[in-house]
Structure 1
Amino acid sequence: MKNKSILRGIHELYRDNPEKADQLIWGREVEPVSRRGFLKKSGLWAMSAALGAHIPFADNMPGGLIPVAFADTDESFHIPGKHPGLIVVNDRPVSAETPAHLLDDLITPADKLFIRNNGIPPENIDPAAWMLRIEGESIESHAQFSLEELKRKFKHYTYQLTIECAGNGRSEFNPPVSGGQWTVGAVGCPEWTGVRLRDVLESIGIKKDAVYIGYYGRDAQISGEPGREPISRGAPMSKALEDETLIAWAMNGADIPIMNGHPLRLVCGGWPGSTSGKWLSKIVVRNKVHDGEKMTGLSYKKPCHPVEPGGNVKDEDMCIIESMPVKSLITYPKTGAMIKAGQKLLLRGHAWAGDLSVSAVDISNDFGATWQRCKLRQPKNRLAWQHWQAELDFPGPGYYEVWVRATDSAGKMQPMVVPGWNPKGYLNNACHRIAVKVT
């Protein structure tokens, strides 16, 4: 089961054609409508043998879904300044995610926060010389602030804010889509310290026709092409003027790590991480939706209405992603946990819901046939993730998967497997699951 070549082969089969992989590997026959898998007796024996345990709830296991025990390849690559357990998703630009069990902290440590860069970080950064320019057609006058002036002229605020890449979970979509093949770890919730964007903009004067802000950073385009921005996105004025939208210089009381935007970045908690511009050097106040790099075409957009998997969507039928959907993680124990029959399993994790809060978290050990309610804490502040915990019983020896499902304050619930398909593989908020073996 730990043989990486075997794991790689299984992953390729499931990525290319999940239903065919089920049939080839386990002899599973899948009903197209429900996607419930019905393992032949020989297939059940094969899967149980590979897992090293009987599967008590095999009849409930969805078809076309690789058993989570095979999903943890335990591969890692060390990035300077980051925890050695982070997993590199891309190396140009650098992108790396954090395995779920390393996100167990209530407040995400700086070395465990994921990396998602669109360009090459600036070199030879001098915070004392760093300048932030404010301009645009919908600001009364242009202005410029040094980092020292921002700290001196405006009140400081600290909030714990959830940042998640819009493509988190992209690897689970079928048909597969291009882009970084994130699993579940492109998310974190550190404490950020800075000044409110609203205070800075209001000190200059916002015109009545202002509808959007955009940001520019000092990172360089991967191609090296001069004058071309790697990314320049933004947010509507309603989001820009929220109390929690910060121009931040500190994470967890220390300088923001280089790979996460030092010395200055925008932080828009609860929205895609792409709205929180790093190495911040300019903010523009617009009288129209910002049209910077990766604001047009299909970038960071989803179909305005549901589409069939693999379908083509016209640009005009795509909508900009704003608040992220409800989601949850199991951060303890690590997948592959082993316990003895009759022993309760302690579980814990986090849940978040974009601009909303989480109203409930439930767990299941029978592939979603039944659910048990968890204890859920209130967030430290608005837009922070919420911690949950539970104890779970198992009916007897065998292989189990524990699934977690959150419900937001508007009543929306995570889908069990994969949500509606989209051409860029955004917003996968399917249930997180871990493998547990009872001996």
Structure 2
Amino acid sequence: MKTERSLVELFASDPERAEALAWGRRGALKGVSLAAVGMALGAAMPFGTRMPGGLLPAALAQSAGDTPILRMDGKVALILLGERPLVAETPEIMLDDDVTPADKMFIRNNGQIPDRFAADPKTWRFRLDGEVNNPLDLSLGDLESRFEAVTMRLQMECGGNGRAAFVPETRGNQWNNGAISNCEWTGVRLRDVIRAAGPKESARFTGHFGADPHLSGATDRAAISRGMPVAKAMEEHTIIATRMNGQPIPQIHGYPLRLVVPGWPGSLSQKWLTRITLLAEPHRGQGMGGTSYRLPVRPIVPGSQNDGATFADMTSMPVRSVLTNLAHGTRLPANTRRVDLRGHAWAGDDEARAVHVSVDFGATWHEMALSPPPNRYSWQRWAGAVELPSDGYFEVWHRATDTKGRMQPHVAPNWNPQGYGANAIGRAAILVG
């Protein structure tokens, strides 16, 4: 005779089957199952009756066993997502600084890491050519001496940030929300360099090139080579960076020269920058076209195959927030009734207008205090507090709204084969008592 496991055991070993048993065919949580879920979580659920139908508790949905950790000199313990190429995520709890320290910046490579430039960094060469009247071949020292230096706090976010929220799962590194940084970058405006080269009227797009070898070692292929409309290149916050947080850029992040294109996918911010070319037509480099950094213009069936022919290039990243003082899975002392919260919010080319928090599965929302950014394209600090009615299992849901009224959705929107643009509301499970 077959013995069926208890729901508690099922949630630990087979959450999908447990979810089906707990919620039933119409997506309503069964009364007996509410108690069983509470047992699986280790606590009662004071707001369990308000949980939307079909939703799995975050403490169960996000349990993934042992998480691989990257331990690297000059870095805090990051979540290792891939070794070839090297990719590592920053836990949200480590993103509390207003300016992201170098040791807490996420890592996203597309190819091999080049050997560190051993000569004087001021001798590094950079070329700007293509649809210009006066092609430029400059050293890093030339860039610093010929053009005005600027320093700004600028967000940099991987286009796949939040990818793990897509159902069904998509290709690519399964980022949660930690593929984001807000460093202080120093460099020169790309538009000043373009103007010095005398752009032709035909200059409509850029193409970017770096020194990182292709992962295969092939010398005739770039690891990544993306481009953007010239209008974004001429935006005053798009810079060729020489310093990060007042120091030389760390090798893993592009020493000695990199492009910083804030608010748009981080893949545009070419590391180990050697050349930018201006083009009359969109760039055709590695990471352009097809489904690479492109989104469906019209919805497609989740899980379906698509060549991306009707997709459009990603531009401004969507509104998003992170909770930085309370980790997912935190256990608080018994009788805790007030919980202070804080984090950051940002919205690509726009700003965040508001951040709201819910502790009753979205039945009610509480607005947090939101600070203005120190400059455009910097993230914004939010902070506030929530009240809890009792001990038990709770989820802190946080969502940001941008200046155009767009807010983070409850689930990752616009499914696409490579999992870009997922900005679902954040959910952190906490246990009181």
Give yes or no for TM over 0.5.
Answer: yes
Separation in 2, partners of 1:95, 1:424: 16
Change over 3 Å in CA distance of 1:76–1:40 after alignment to 2: same
Contact 1:38 1:59 in 2 (8 A): no
The secondary structure found in structure 2 opposite 1:332 is: coil
The secondary structure found in structure 1 opposite 2:192 is: helix
**Which runs of structure 2 are paired with 1:325-364 in the superposition (5 Å)?**
325-337=318-330, 338-341=332-335, 343-364=337-358
Name the structure 1 match of 2:105: 113
Equivalent of residue 130 in structure 1, options 124, 129, 146: 124
Structure 2 residue 57 is the aligned partner of structure 1 residue 67 = yes
Equivalent of residue 86 in structure 1, options 58, 69, 78: 78
Separation in 2, partners of 1:11, 1:424: 29
Separation in 1, partners of 2:216, 2:14: 33
Name the structure 2 match of 1:279: 272
Separation in 1, partners of 2:303, 2:126: 42
Contact 1:135 1:142 in 2 (8 A): yes
Structure 2 residue 167 is the aligned partner of structure 1 residue 174 = yes
Name the structure 1 match of 2:4: none
Name the structure 1 match of 2:411: 417
Structure 1: unaligned runs, 5 residues or longer: 1-8, 32-36
**Which runs of structure 2 are paired with 1:44-55 in the superposition (5 Å)?**
44-55=34-45
Matched letter for residue 417 of structure 2: P
The secondary structure found in structure 2 opposite 1:315 is: coil
Contact 1:129 1:146 in 2 (8 A): yes
Separation in 2, partners of 1:334, 1:319: 35
Separation in 2, partners of 1:252, 1:215: 23
- Give the length in aligned residue pairs: 420
Name the structure 2 match of 1:77: 69
The secondary structure found in structure 2 opposite 1:234 is: coil
Contact 1:303 1:313 in 2 (8 A): no
Name the structure 2 match of 1:222: 215
Moved more, 273-282 or 50-59: 50-59
Change over 3 Å in CA distance of 1:12–1:139 after alignment to 2: farther
Give CA deviations for 1:211-263 in whole Å, capped at 9, x if unaligned. Answer: 11110000011111121101100111111001100000111101111111111
The secondary structure found in structure 2 opposite 1:145 is: strand
Name the structure 1 match of 2:3: none
Contact 2:394 2:429 in 1 (8 A): yes
Give CA deviations for 1:375-424 in whole Å, capped at 9, x if unaligned. Answer: 00000100110110011001112100000011000011110222221121
Matched letter for residue 418 of structure 1: A
Change over 3 Å in CA distance of 1:340–1:11 after alignment to 2: closer
Change over 3 Å in CA distance of 1:218–1:11 after alignment to 2: farther
The secondary structure found in structure 2 opposite 1:351 is: strand
Give CA deviations for 1:52-103 in whole Å, capped at 9, x if unaligned. Answer: 1101122332455543334265735234234332111010000000000000
Matched letter for residue 45 of structure 2: I
Contact 1:400 1:437 in 2 (8 A): yes
TM-score (norm 1): 0.91
Give CA deviations for 1:350-379 in whole Å, capped at 9, x if unaligned. Answer: 000000011110000011111000000000
Tell me how far 1:313 sits from its aligned partner.
Answer: 3.5
Equivalent of residue 376 in structure 1, options 370, 373, 377: 370
Name the structure 2 match of 1:296: 289
Structure 2: unaligned runs, 5 residues or longer: 1-9
Tell me how far 1:187 sits from its aligned partner.
Answer: 0.6
Name the structure 1 match of 2:393: 399
The secondary structure found in structure 1 opposite 2:195 is: helix
Separation in 1, partners of 2:304, 2:74: 39
Name the structure 2 match of 1:163: 156
Percent identity over the alignment is 44
Tell me how far 1:314 sits from its aligned partner.
Answer: 4.5
